[in-house]
Amino acid sequence: MRNFAYEVADRPDDAFEADGTRTMAIAGGTELLNWFRLGIAGPDRVIDIGRIAGLDSIEQSGDSLSIGALATLNQIGEHPAVRKHAAVLADACLKAASAQIRNRATIGGNLLQKTRCAYFRAEAPLPWGCNKRAPGSGCAAREGLNERHAIFGWTEECVAVQPSDPLVALAALDAEIELHSRDGRRVLPVGDLHLTPVEAAAAGFDAARTETRLTPGEVIVGYRLPLRDGARSAYVKVRERASYEYALVSAAAVVTIAGGRIAQVAIALGSVAQKPWRLRAVEARLVGQPPARDAVLPILEAGVAADARPLARNGYKVAMAARAAARAIVEAAA
């Protein structure tokens, strides 16, 4: 562990100096301190933004729900308005980690956690190649133990996935994320915050190391969730054990039913890419179908298989993703 200077921020502007390298922001600390221990990050200065007043609020106003970036996963998962209007997000938060972690982890920090790839999360110095940790050293997972890795959006430089549970739910809810920096305020769809290696390379960035559209000094301050009349939602997390485990595959579904059939649907998959993976083409084909497994599963299987590029050891994720999405639709409709 390297020594670092510690400061406490009183307002979001105090965090604008956090460039993500020499100066970093900390909120709950459940992820950042692990980066320090493993050698993923070693800043000279840490700015604690976890005590900024007003950024932990959860409020319903008209047809939207606002959630501050410092709201903890337990606060969100147990909040009556979230459970009533965005059950998929409440479930995702409560399934994300142990109760102790959920009491500290914030919704702002959770979306920025790093991949759980075992080759990436090894203690320095790494005995193998990892382009995220050492650019140009290769991706050991590409031909290695890649059972938990991407089936969408990967390149030869990186096959990692984004492990956040709330991120998948927020993408299915068409939530927006509010960002502040010295340049002012901007709002993005949550689903556009992260980049796959394919998207990063196409934009001229480092395919392995560029994971989000955040600029240096930019801070997440909150989220806005549109509320849809009659919408129902559910989150399905497939994992090897039910306690404190990351997903093999997850699926979030937001469904509106009219006359016993799907009138509107949004589906996002998790742990299959370095961002939540929306099935937009499939969503259009599901409209008009009854929300029953036999009706939706063939459409989901065809849609997932059409775009998936499984690795040597994770072909099972193609079928698992379609089935998780089907289960999420059925549970949401019920």
Q: How many domains does the chain have?
A: 2
What CA–CA distance (Å, rounded) separates 334 from 325? 14
Residue 33: pLDDT above 90? no
Q: What is the pLDDT of residues 95-126, one digit of tens each?
A: 999 999 999 999 999 999 999 999 999 999 99
Whether 305 maps to a domain, the answer reads yes
Q: How far is CA 170 from the centre of its chain?
A: 8
pLDDT confidence tier of residue 20, bands split at 50, 70 and 90: confident
Whether 151 maps to a domain, the answer reads no
Whether 143 maps to a domain, the answer reads no
Three-state SS letters, the chain:
CCCCEEEECCCHHHHCCCCCCCEEEECCCCCHHHHHHHCCCCCCEEEECCCCCCCCCEEEECCEEEEECCCEHHHHHHCHHHHHHCHHHHHHHHCCCCHHHHHHCEHHHHCCCCCCCCCCCCCCCCCCCECCCCCCCCEHHHCCCCCCCCCCCCECCECCCCCCHHHHHHHHCCCEEEEEECCEEEEEEHHHCECCHHHHHHCCCCCCCCCECCCCCCEEEEEEEECCCCEEEEEEEECCCCCCCCCCEEEEEEEEEECCEEEEEEEEEECCCCCCEECHHHHHHHCCCCCCHHHHHHHHHHHHHHHCCCCCCCCHHHHHHHHHHHHHHHHHHC
Q: What is the pLDDT of residues 277-332, one digit of tens each?
A: 999 999 999 999 999 999 999 999 999 999 999 999 999 999 999 999 999 999 99
Whether 176 maps to a domain, the answer reads no
pLDDT confidence tier of residue 15, bands split at 50, 70 and 90: confident
**What is the chain's mean pLDDT, rounded?**
96
Whether 119 maps to a domain, the answer reads no
331 by Cβ neighbours in 10 Å (0-12 / 13-18 / 19+) ranks as buried
Residue 243: pLDDT above 90? no
pLDDT at res. 165: 98
Whether 191 maps to a domain, the answer reads no
- The two beta strands, 261-270 and 249-258, are antiparallel
pLDDT at res. 227: 94
Whether 146 maps to a domain, the answer reads no
pLDDT at res. 61: 92
CATH of the domain at 261: 3.30.390.50
Find the domain containing 11 and state its range: 5-48
